[in-house]
Structures are given as structure tokens and as C-alpha cells.
Amino acid sequence: MSQPDVESAYAHCRDVTRASATSFYYGMRLLPRPRRVALYAVYAFARRIDDIADGPAGAAEKLAELERARGQLALLGSSAGDPVLAALADVCRNYPLPREALEELIDGAAMDVSGRTYASFDDLVVYCRRVGGTIGRLSLGELFC
């Protein structure tokens, strides 16, 4: 499959965001177009990771799929045929996106899949940073450059 053109890739990410993120989508629409489409790409990738973690597959299959997603990040920009990764690669070229946050998002999803529990608030902090915190850092990296 050939690499999608960037505009088509961003359009796909917009459609993913529109279909699954009611309030996020409407809030993003207020941003200037370059930042808006960049956040659509970030959201579409995060949605993909969340869908893997929350999907119907067994834990072992989910963890394997999350590792495949991690491998795709390592090759970002050469993932032929994947519009989400094509758009995300373009975002990474144009904004100071903290790429480690993308991997931490996968780490947080893996924590969900493994069924890990937290005995104290301090134990929970790492999970919160990896799940909710990564989205904040990715959004700030895109917006405030």
C-alpha cells in the first residue's frame, strides 16, 4: 500500500476525531487550521492506543498490539499506507512534539491491560502521568511552539 498524501492523512484523522470525540472535536475546531489538524493527528493516535487497550482481545494479544504500535513509532514516517502515522510524522516534523510522551501513552495503556492496581496515591502518579499527562504534554508541544 502506498503512503497517503499528508492532506488525506489529516482528513482521516479529522474524521476519526469527529466520530469519537464529541467535545474534543468541537474544541479543536476553534484552533487555527495548522494546529487543529495537528491535534487531530495526536488524538487519532491516542484513540488507536486506547481502543487497543479497551478492545475485546485478550490481554496477551492487546500487549502484543501495543508493542506493534510502539514499533511503528520507531519507524514514524515510513509506515506506508497508515494515514494516522503519516499525519503524526508530519506533526513531528513541524512541531516540537515530545515523542517520548507517545511511548508513555503506550506504557499507560499496557498498565491498564495488565490490570495493575495502586495501593497509594503516590503509586497512581506514574499511571496518571502516562495516561492523562501524556495527552496534556502532547497538546502543549503542538500548541505552544
The pLDDT of residue 145 is: 47
Q: Is 110 a member of any domain?
A: yes
Torsion on CA atoms 135, 57, 111, 121, rounded to nearest 10: 90
Q: Is 125 contained in some domain? A: yes
Asked if 25 and 95 count as a contact pair (C-beta separation under 8 A), the reply is no
CATH of the domain at 55: 1.10.600.10
On the question of pLDDT at 44 being above 90, the answer is: yes
Nearest CA to 84 among 135, 24, 41?
41
Within a domain: 1: no
Q: How many domains does the chain have?
A: 1
Residue 21 has pLDDT above 90, yes or no: no
Instruction: Tell me the per-residue pLDDT of 97-112, one tens digit each, with 9 for 90 and over.
Output: 888 999 999 999 999 9
Single-letter code of the amino acid located at 60:
A
Q: Cα(130)–Cα(106) distance, rounded to whole angstroms?
A: 8
Q: How many CA atoms lie within 13 A of 136 on its CB side?
A: 6
Which structural domain range is residue 124 located in? Answer: 6-143
Is position 63 within any domain? yes
Count of all residues that appear for the chain in the document: 145
Instruction: For residue 92, tell me if it sits in a domain.
Output: yes
pTM of the model: 0.89
Q: Cell 476525531, residue?
A: 17
Is the residue at 97 inside a domain? yes
